[in-house]
Amino acid sequence: MMLYKLRLTFVLIAIGLNIGVQAQDFIPILKKRAYLNNSYQKLLKVTDTLKIAFIGGSITETNKGWRDQTMQWFASKYPNAKFKQINAGLSGTGSSLGVYRIDEHVLNHQPDLVFIEFAVNDYKASKHHILEAFEGMVLKIKKANPKTDICFIYTFSEAMLESYEKGFYPNSIIAMEEIASHYNISSVNFAPDIIQRIKNKTLAVIGPKQHPDSTYFSSDGVHPYENTGHLYYTQTLTKALDKLLNKGKRFNSKKDIYYSAQLEKAKMTHLETQMFNGIKAEIPPPKFSSLIQNIFALNQVEDLLQIQFKGDRIGFMDIIGPSSGTLKIKIDDQEPQYITRFDRFCSYERLHWFIIDGLAPDIQHSISISLAPNRIDKARILGKATDTEDYKKETWRVGKILMVDK
C-alpha cells in the first residue's frame, strides 16, 4: 500500500459539506479555489448552451452513474438553461492516456466546463506521470479557451480505504492536488462521505445489489452501484456545485509552469496505410467507433508497422482482448523489446494504450513493430480455459499514434 507523508483525519463540519479532512491545513471535501464563473454566466443566459465535458475512466464512462445523474441535477436546478453533455470516459484508462486524447475527445467540442476524474485509475501511477499528464491537460484546456472552467473529481476504491483509515491521502490525489493548488482549480473528493458511511456501518464496500440487512457501495470495490455509490457521489458533487456556480474568482492562466509543459503538445494522430506493408484499414467495432475512426490489424509475424518520428516518446492506442498477442518492437539500432498486449482483463475487448519514452528528444527515430513468434499462455493469465477461436489467435489491432508535437 502506497502512503504519503501528508497526514489527514476525518472531522465533521457544521456548514456546507458535512465531512471534511484535516491535515496541516483544513482540507474539506470541496477545495474551493475558484468559482465556475464561466459556467455560471452561461446558465444565466437562456439563449446559450452550457457544454459540460467529463473525462475519466469507467466510473465516468458508465451510463446512469454520477455523470448522467449530475446532468439530471443541472437540468432540474436550471430548467430554463440548455445543456450538452460530452462523455469522454474510457474504461480502464488513466491520465497518461487522457492527456493525449483530450483534444479530440473533449476540446474539439468546445466545452465550457470540464470535470477530470482519474484518481482511481491513476492510483498506482507514478507521481511523475500524474503531474506531467494533469498539467498537460490543464494547459491544453486553457490554451483552447482561457475561460473554460475545470474541476478535479476524486473517486474512491477499496484499494484506497486502508490509506484513508490510517490517515493518509492516496498518492494519486496528493499529486493531483498539487496541480489543482498551483492553477487555482477547485476539487471535489467523493471519498470522505463514502468512508463515513462505512464507519457508521450504513454502507459496505462490496456486496450484492440487494441484501436485507446491508447496503453496498459496489460489486467489486471500484465500480459503484447506480443507487448507492454513484448516488452518493452525485450528492457530494451537487452540494459542491451549489457553492461553485457563482460569480467570483477567475482561473489564473498566467502562472508559471509547475512541473512540466512537455505534454501540452501531446496528441493522437491517425495511422496511415503507407506505414504498413500492404495492410488496409478496417472499421473498428461499433462500441469504439466514436473514439477511433479506423484500425489496422497485424495478424501474421510478417506484418509490419514502420514509423519515423522525432521526440522523446511514442505510443499507441489499441484494442486488446481475447485475440491479442505479444509485440516485437525495435527502435533505431537498439535491441528489440517485447510488450505483451494481453492481461487478466482480456476476456473482453477494450481500448488500451502503451507509451515508450526516455528516447533522445531532438533526433529522428525509426520504430518497427511486428508480432512476436512466441505464444502467450492465456489460460494461465486468465485462470480459465481459453479454447475458443479468438483466444487461439495472436493479433494486434491499433487505432492511434500517441505523440508529442511531431
Residue 56 maps to a domain = yes
Q: Are residues 177 and 315 in the same domain?
A: no
Q: Are residues 163 and 205 in the same domain?
A: yes
Q: What does the pLDDT read at residue 13?
A: 31
For 322, the domain range is: 271-404
Q: Are residues 38 and 154 in the same domain?
A: yes
- State percent of the chain over pLDDT 70: 90
Residue where a domain terminates, one of 244, 261, 289: 244
- Find where cell 446559450 sits: 48
164: amino acid identity, one letter: Y
Q: Are residues 143 and 202 in the same domain?
A: yes
pLDDT at 58 over 90: yes
342-346 average pLDDT score: 95
pLDDT at 14 over 80: no
57-76 average pLDDT score: 97
Residue 253 maps to a domain = no
Residue 1 maps to a domain = no
Residue 264 maps to a domain = no
Q: Are residues 161 and 304 in the same domain?
A: no
Alpha carbon dihedral 222, 227, 232, 235, in 10-degree steps, equals: 140
The string of DSSP codes covering 30-77 is: EE-SS--HHHHHHHH-TTSEEEEEEEESHHHHSTTSHHHHHHHHHHHH
Of residues 217 and 251, more confidently modeled: 217
Residue 252 maps to a domain = no
Mean pLDDT (the chain) is: 89
Task: List the beta bridge partners of residue 309.
Answer: 365
Q: Are residues 161 and 276 in the same domain?
A: no
Contact 321, 295 (CB under 8 A): no
CATH number of the domain at 113, please. Answer: 3.40.50.1110
Give 309-343 pLDDT, tens digit per residue: 999 999 999 999 999 999 999 999 999 999 999 99
Give 90-143 pLDDT, tens digit per residue: 999 999 999 999 999 999 999 999 999 999 999 999 999 999 999 999 999 999
Number of domains in the chain: 2
Q: Are residues 200 and 277 in the same domain?
A: no
Residue 265 maps to a domain = no
Contact 11, 18 (CB under 8 A): no
Q: Are residues 164 and 209 in the same domain?
A: yes
Task: List the beta bridge partners of residue 370.
Answer: 328
Q: What does the pLDDT read at residue 24?
A: 30
Contact 115, 54 (CB under 8 A): yes
The helix/strand/coil state of 121 is coil
Residue 249 maps to a domain = no
pLDDT at 11 over 70: no
Q: Are residues 178 and 292 in the same domain?
A: no
Residue 251 maps to a domain = no
Q: Are residues 323 and 223 in the same domain?
A: no
Residue where a domain terminates, one of 225, 244, 263: 244
- State percent of the chain over pLDDT 90: 80
Of residues 340 and 2, more confidently modeled: 340
Q: Are residues 49 and 188 in the same domain?
A: yes
Q: Are residues 128 and 228 in the same domain?
A: yes
